[in-house]
Chains A and B, each alone.
Chain A
Amino acid sequence: MQESEFPGVRGPLRFRPETGRPLLDLVEVLLRGPHSLTAGERELIAAYVSGRNECTYCCSAHSAYAAAQLDEGMSLVDQVHADPDRAPISAKLRALLRIAAAVQVSGREVTADLVEAARTEGATDLEIHDTVLIAAAFCMFNRYVDGLGTVPAADPGWYAQASERIATHGYLPVLDR
């Protein structure tokens, strides 16, 4: 296939649809399913972890998807990438991003203190669970995308266009387009 037409994870998803389908099902539930965290907040966690893994495609894509679904847009996404401690976000989201950062290093880095801090700021068990799994899932996607040496989109405008489709139709149609 033309990789320029199907950049990043889209090539491997099409190469092996039998694994591509459950991967898309997982990301759809995690990032867009009914939840107390907004889709924008969950995309922000995905973008943040992808940035820490230095995965250009995933970081560009999920930063664009987060920006499209957050009132403050890309400037807030950029601030979170630079330093979640100083970004103008809720104390709860900041505590969840600290958990996500620990997961990016290793599951074993998530301490009872980090979890307690998130709970003190009002995070529920489900929000803590989903934060851990979003961060873990992007440690998979980032490795999948870079481990196969896929290319990011050549045109930065591609991500903004993709973000409109994702915000409207979700991840499931990605294999069918």
Chain B
Amino acid sequence: MAHIDLGVDETEFPGVRGPMKYRPVTGKPMLELAETLLRGPLSLPTADRELIAAYVSGLNECTYCCSAHSAFAAALLDEGMPLVDQVRADPATAPISAKLRALLHIAGAVQRSGRDVTTELVEAARTEGATDEEIHDTVLIAAAFCMVNRYVDGLGTFAPSDPKFYEETARRVISVGYRNTV
């Protein structure tokens, strides 16, 4: 049970969905932001963006967001959930590109504090070929999940434990996007 009465059956609308239904005037711009950051026409592949979201949500120990975005990333990656698990365990040893590794290091810094993003971290990403836009988008995805994770857990929302829920949601999000799923 969430800390406030969200006016929905939380098993039907778990995680961020309850608060978004409860307060659509704030839910709408949040969904627009998620749609642009995770699915919009940016240069980083959508799978990489979902991996960044899943990684940061894991660091914030947000069960709902981490389960959901891990499932979304797994559905978009050829290597599936085993790669997501390796990234979440340790991006430094996961079999990913040097560029994505450097961007995940930036995301990990953002999760602690914006002030932890050093010139060295940014320079390392640039050396591996990351553009200014990709560095910007990585910082904002990581920052946005520091918001959403706090929103979801700060209101004490329900997180399903059945992986099937997240796999089913992944199919919907990938085919019709965030706006039409949530």
Q: A residues touching B (Cβ–Cβ < 8 Å)? A: 12, 15-16, 18-19, 21-23, 25-26, 29-30, 33, 53-55, 99, 102-103, 106-108, 110, 112, 115, 125-126, 128-130, 132-133, 135-137, 139-149
CB-CB under 8 A for A144 and B150, given A30-B26, A106-B60, A107-B60? no
A–B pairs, 28, beta carbons within 8 Å: A18-B36, A19-B36, A22-B33, A26-B29, A26-B33, A33-B25, A102-B154, A107-B149, A107-B152, A108-B153, A112-B3, A115-B4, A128-B4, A129-B4, A130-B26, A132-B150, A135-B150, A135-B154, A136-B151, A143-B113, A144-B139, A144-B143, A146-B117, A147-B139, A147-B142, A147-B143, A148-B136, A148-B139
List the A side residues contacting B28 at CB < 8 Å: 25
Give CA–CA (A19, B143) in the complex, Å: 13
Would you give the 0/1 interface string for B38-82, flagging 1 where the beta carbon is closer than 8 Å to chain A?
A: 001000000000000000000011100000000000000000000
Give CA–CA (A126, B6) in the complex, Å: 10
Number of B positions contacting A (CB below 8 A): 48
CB of B115 within 8 A of CB of A54, answer: yes
Pick from B19, B148, B152: contact of A129, CB below 8 A. Answer: B19
Give CA–CA (A65, B3) in the complex, Å: 30
List the A side residues contacting B154 at CB < 8 Å: 99, 102-103, 107, 110, 132, 135-136
Give CA–CA (A29, B25) in the complex, Å: 7
* 10 A-B pairs with the lowest CB-CB distances in the bound complex, closest first: A107-B153, A146-B114, A140-B147, A136-B150, A143-B143, A147-B114, A107-B154, A25-B29, A143-B114, A22-B32
Give CA–CA (A54, B154) in the complex, Å: 21
Give CA–CA (A6, B137) in the complex, Å: 19
Q: B residues touching A (Cβ–Cβ < 8 Å)? A: 3-5, 19, 22-23, 25-26, 28-30, 32-33, 36-37, 40, 60-62, 106, 109-110, 113-115, 117, 119, 122, 133, 135-137, 139-140, 142-144, 146-156
List the B side residues contacting A22 at CB < 8 Å: 29-30, 32-33, 36
Additional A-B contact list (18), CB under 8 Å, known A21-B32, A112-B156, A136-B150: A15-B136, A16-B136, A23-B33, A25-B29, A26-B33, A102-B154, A103-B150, A106-B61, A106-B150, A107-B60, A107-B152, A108-B61, A110-B155, A129-B155, A130-B26, A142-B114, A146-B115, A148-B117
